[in-house]
Amino acid sequence: MNRFGAAQTNIVVDESVARGFIVKVYGWMTLALVITGIVAIATAANPDFIAAIASGPALIALVIGQLLLVVVLSAAINKLSAGLATGLFIVYAAVTGLTFSMLFLIYTGSSIAQVFFITAGTFGLVSAYGYVTRRDLTSIGNLLFMALIGLIVASIVNLFLNSSVVDWIITFVGIVIFIGLIAYDTQRIKRMAAGLGENGEVYQKAAVFGALALYLDFINLFIRLLRVFGRQR
């Protein structure tokens, strides 16, 4: 079973049901990205607002808020109503937009836009592979999850080491990990469609849960690609 009580990996999912569900998931993910982009651009356009956010306490509070929202949505989504889960997801996308506004202080707007489209194209291709492949990506997904934990630990350690070489290694390894997770999560979401029905409370919460997973994959890949291809001010 996956975290949302979906089908085992050997269950054949009805393609029409899977397509309908994945379209809903992509729809919520796209809405979240749009909200993040609008909030980030609007915040960056307001010098006083972005200066307030850039202050240490405000930025730390936003990051902590992001972490808490992800934990609640990931760990307690079965206990939430569909409406509350959806609302928290939208709030998370908006809060992420506030923190992402900091990127406009570091990188040019044109390079941010270019990297966004690079990320979107990469995401689309890899997600399509995850959807159509008959290869079971479960074992790969487990390895990627362990690698992600190692990446987080390495990132924390490098806060003290402050090594540019380690930083670049973390960046490129992160790109590989999140590209793999996009394929894995897409396949996992496709299989979530089995046994959900085509409507109802559980269906909506599962769609939000899947959208959150792909949204996190997208923004984490975007941040790392921006680190490589972004032009600094």
Helices (H), 12-137: 15-44, 47-54, 56-75, 82-100, 103-106, 109-132
184: in domain: yes
Domain boundaries, position 77: 15-229
190: in domain: yes
pLDDT at 84: 93
Coil, strand, or helix at residue 232?
Answer: strand
Question: What mean pLDDT is predicted for residues 17-43?
Answer: 92
Element (H, E) at 219: helix 201-229
Q: What are residue 80's phi and psi, to 5 degrees?
A: -90, 155
111 has pLDDT over 60? yes
114 has pLDDT over 90? yes
110: in domain: yes
pLDDT at 13: 56
Question: What mean pLDDT is predicted for residues 170-189?
Answer: 95
Question: What mean pLDDT is predicted for residues 114-121?
Answer: 96
89: in domain: yes
Q: Which of 21, 226, 199, 13 is nearest to 122 (CA)?
A: 226
pLDDT at 2: 40
90 has pLDDT over 80? yes
7: in domain: no
Q: Tokens 């393609």 belong to which residue?
A: 15
CA distances to 74, 83, 162, 205 from 201, rounded to whole Å, are 16, 9, 47, 6
Q: What's the CA gap between 54 and 101, in Å, rounded?
A: 9
pLDDT band at residue 233 using 50, 70 and 90 as cut-offs = confident
2: in domain: no
Report how many domains make up the chain.
1
pLDDT band at residue 198 using 50, 70 and 90 as cut-offs = low
Q: Which of 216, 212, 63, 222 is nearest to 144 (CA)?
A: 216
A 10 A CB-CB count for 32 gives: 25
7 has pLDDT over 60? no
pLDDT at 199: 66
Q: What's the CA gap between 213 and 130, in Å, rounded?
A: 14
pLDDT at 16: 74
CA 184 to chain centre: 13
Question: What mean pLDDT is predicted for residues 134-146?
Answer: 92
Could you read off the pLDDT of 201-222 as tens digits, one per residue? 888 899 999 999 999 999 999 9
